[in-house]
């Protein structure tokens, strides 16, 4: 046994030594002579990712978009009087934009491609280029800005889709490969390891549970594939941390389990229904930890529970400290929002809490948030294409104003042309207050005339007219 181990060690040393000699020779040889690494040493093939990549690269596509964005203009010209005086058009000024990104074919039969929302946002034309050089015009199936996930569709003509792994099985230190279209150069492959898991609180997206990797991710890689050494998709590349705009070895990818969950909701309903339990939390800081008499300073303190909410039914109380959700550690208040918001409606969630220094486990069932989309065919066509929601507890204006939040506005709709934008808060309709979504819906459904909306945007308020 000892001799066998020694022989193996000796062979390994010789293999590495020969590999080093070959690499040195390849680096120092100059002139017309061509030097190359050997394909094998003592009959053993050198390791290579090429066989895996030959199977995977046909599933990664390049995405080019053309879009239009509204041009910021002098506030003076927002006044209708000045617009008429200077004979300016009523439609907002726009300029064309172009962008490049990547995508991954996840369903060849249906022609479905996963990418980032920011890759196709504001796009009026999307062109997908396959590895073999074919070009297709794509249409948007749906997108979710809060997670930066989007699904587009191309004709299902001899496509190849990628195998998918369980991203929950990833471990720090696993080797990964990033494939995409950085800087528009064309398909490019980089490698690295999983540097960290469940990164959140970065302020990149609304809901964050990122895979961090040191595989080079650069502008244009967005929407591309992060795969394991088996060629299975584990994440969708989405962002980098950089002070210069270039890669410094800190890249982030959306776990594929989360991306597929979002995709299924987009395919089913065209939108994502957020999980809701009805609880407000804040970070557990050292002062609070000392006041509660606990040593652990990681967690989220419950400061309020909504009546008749799943949180109240589960038994959560103000002063409880949430330390984990579904066995995932809660380090800060943002973790609670991320964990709950990414769970599908109807799923049971398990909270581990500290109450009076003792650990307890509570269970709640996720319900839908109050966000909804006004259906096509509503009696008020002026609001078709508008998605609205109540002002929920994590909104900056919660308990400051009463009204409804604009979650999305379809480009080209009457509301969009009138100037309504995502993030606006409507506080009244035709001078009638609308304190919540239910009252807003009841009011607008009874109106068949022009709508005059009082809108708060940032620190300013204005009236918008939708004819």
Confidence of residue 4 (pLDDT cuts 50, 70, 90): very low
Say how far apart CA 425 and CA 448 lie, in whole Å: 22
pLDDT higher at 63 or 30: 63
Active site residue 148: yes
Q: How many other CB atoms are found less than 10 A from the CB of residue 162? A: 24
Give the three-class secondary structure for 302: strand
Question: What is the arithmetic mean of pLDDT over 32-59?
Answer: 71
Say how far apart CA 344 and CA 323 lie, in whole Å: 21
Superfamily per CATH, domain 372-466: PDZ domain (2.30.42.10)
Judge whether residue 145 has pLDDT over 70: yes
Confidence of residue 243 (pLDDT cuts 50, 70, 90): low
Residues in contact with 267: Cβ distance below 8 Å, sequence separation at least 6, in sequence order: 112, 141, 142, 151
Query: What is the pLDDT at residue 79?
Result: 54
Q: What is the pTM of this model?
A: 0.63
Say how far apart CA 216 and CA 237 lie, in whole Å: 10
Active site residue 79: no
Q: Which of 35-49, 99-113, 180-194, 355-369 has the highest mean pLDDT?
A: 99-113
Residues in contact with 45: Cβ distance below 8 Å, sequence separation at least 6, in sequence order: 39
pLDDT tens readout for residues 360-378: 999 998 887 654 444 333 4
Selecting among 222, 324, 334, 441, the annotated active-site residue is 222
Q: Read off φ and ψ for residue 159, nearest 5 degrees.
A: -90, 160
Confidence of residue 10 (pLDDT cuts 50, 70, 90): very low
Say how far apart CA 36 and CA 43 lie, in whole Å: 17
Say how far apart CA 241 and CA 250 lie, in whole Å: 6
Residues in contact with 225: Cβ distance below 8 Å, sequence separation at least 6, in sequence order: 56, 59, 60, 102, 104, 162, 178, 179, 180, 233, 235, 236, 237
Class for the domain spanning 275-368: mainly beta
Confidence of residue 73 (pLDDT cuts 50, 70, 90): low
Active site residue 200: no
Using an 8 Å Cβ cutoff, are 302 and 364 in contact?
no
Judge whether residue 12 has pLDDT over 90: no
Question: What is the arithmetic mean of pLDDT over 223-237?
Answer: 92
Say how far apart CA 215 and CA 236 lie, in whole Å: 13
Say how far apart CA 261 and CA 272 lie, in whole Å: 9
Question: What is the arithmetic mean of pLDDT over 40-47?
Answer: 67
pLDDT tens readout for residues 182-222: 776 778 888 899 999 888 766 666 677 889 998 888 777 88
pLDDT tens readout for residues 413-444: 788 888 888 888 998 888 888 888 778 877 88
pLDDT tens readout for residues 314-328: 999 888 899 899 888
Selecting among 99, 143, 144, 148, the annotated active-site residue is 148
Judge whether residue 114 has pLDDT over 90: yes
Selecting among 102, 118, 209, 428, the annotated active-site residue is 118
From the number of C-beta atoms within 10 Å of its C-beta (0-12, 13-18, 19+), residue 307 rates as exposed
Say how far apart CA 237 and CA 252 lie, in whole Å: 6
Q: How many other CB atoms are found less than 10 A from the CB of residue 216? A: 20
Confidence of residue 172 (pLDDT cuts 50, 70, 90): very high
pLDDT higher at 4 or 52: 52
Class for the domain spanning 49-272: mainly beta
Q: What percent of the chain has pLDDT over 90?
A: 16
Domains 275-368 and 372-466 share a fold: yes
The token duo for 375 is 């259906």
Q: How many other CB atoms are found less than 10 A from the CB of residue 440? A: 24
Q: Can you tell me which residue has the tokens 């050198």?
A: 46
- Of the candidate ranges 152-161, 346-355, 396-405, 428-437, the one whose mean pLDDT is the lowest: 396-405
pLDDT higher at 381 or 352: 352
Confidence of residue 339 (pLDDT cuts 50, 70, 90): confident
Judge whether residue 451 has pLDDT over 90: no
Say how far apart CA 436 and CA 458 lie, in whole Å: 19
CA 308 to mean position of chain CA atoms: 31
CA 191 to mean position of chain CA atoms: 22
Say how far apart CA 61 and CA 130 lie, in whole Å: 5
Say how far apart CA 449 and CA 451 lie, in whole Å: 6
Judge whether residue 242 has pLDDT over 90: no
Tell me which residue of 131, 102, 104 sits closest to 119, measured CA to CA: 102
Confidence of residue 90 (pLDDT cuts 50, 70, 90): low
Mean pLDDT of the chain: 78
Judge whether residue 33 has pLDDT over 50: no
Domains of the chain: which residue ranges? 2-47, 49-272, 275-368, 372-466
Query: What is the pLDDT at residue 204?
Result: 62
Tell me which residue of 330, 332, 331, 323 sits closest to 355, measured CA to CA: 323
CA 342 to mean position of chain CA atoms: 11
């Amino acid at each position: 046994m000892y001799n066998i181990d020694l022989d193996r060690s000796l062979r390994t040393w010789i293999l590495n030594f020969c590999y080093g000699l070959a690499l040195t020779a390849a680096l120092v040889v100059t002139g017309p002579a061509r030097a190359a690494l050997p394909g094998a040493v003592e009959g053993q093939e050198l390791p290579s990712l090429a066989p895996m990549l030959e199977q995977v690269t046909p599933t990664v596509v390049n995405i080019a978009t053309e879009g239009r964005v509204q041009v910021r203009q002098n506030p003076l010209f927002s006044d209708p009087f000045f617009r008429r005086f200077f004979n300016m058009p009523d439609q907002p000024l726009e300029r064309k934009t172009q962008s490049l990104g990547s995508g991954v074919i996840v369903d060849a039969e249906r022609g479905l491609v996963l990418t980032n929302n920011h890759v196709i946002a504001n796009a009026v034309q999307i062109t997908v280029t396959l590895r073999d050089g074919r070009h297709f015009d794509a249409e948007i199936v749906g997108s979710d800005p809060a997670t930066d996930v989007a699904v587009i569709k191309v004709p299902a003509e001899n496509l190849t889709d990628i195998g998918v792994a369980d991203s929950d099985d990833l471990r720090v230190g696993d080797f990964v490969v990033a494939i995409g279209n950085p800087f528009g150069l064309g398909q490019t492959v980089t490698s690295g390891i999983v540097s960290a898991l469940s990164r959140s609180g970065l302020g990149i997206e609304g809901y964050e549970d990122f895979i961090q990797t040191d595989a080079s991710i650069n502008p244009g890689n967005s929407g591309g594939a992060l795969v394991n050494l088996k060629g299975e998709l584990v994440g969708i590349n989405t962002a980098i941390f950089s002070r210069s705009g270039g890669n410094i070895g800190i890249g982030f990818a959306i776990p594929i389990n989360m991306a597929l969950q979002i995709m299924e909701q987009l395919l089913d309903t065209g939108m994502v229904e957020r999980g809701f339990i009805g609880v407000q939390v804040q970070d557990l800081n050292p002062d609070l930890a000392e006041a509660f008499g606990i040593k652990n300073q990681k967690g989220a303190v419950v400061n309020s529970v909504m009546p008749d909410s799943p949180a109240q039914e589960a038994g959560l109380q103000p002063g409880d400290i949430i330390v984990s959700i579904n066995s995932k550690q809660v380090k800060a208040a943002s973790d609670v929002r991320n964990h709950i918001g990414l769970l599908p409606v109807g799923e049971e969630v398990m909270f581990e809490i500290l109450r009076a220094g003792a650990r307890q486990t509570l269970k709640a069932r996720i319900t839908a948030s109050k966000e909804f989309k006004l259906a096509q065919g509503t009696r008020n066509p002026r609001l078709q294409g508008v998605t609205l929601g109540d002002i929920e507890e994590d909104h900056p204006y919660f308990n400051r104003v009463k009204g409804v939040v604009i979650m999305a506005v379809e480009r080209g709709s009457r509301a969009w042309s009138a100037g309504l934008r995502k993030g606006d808060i409507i506080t009244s309709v035709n001078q009638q207050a609308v304190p919540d979504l239910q009252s807003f819906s009841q009011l607008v459904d009874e109106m068949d005339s022009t709508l005059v909306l009082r809108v708060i945007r940032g620190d300013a308020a204005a009236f918008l007219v939708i004819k």
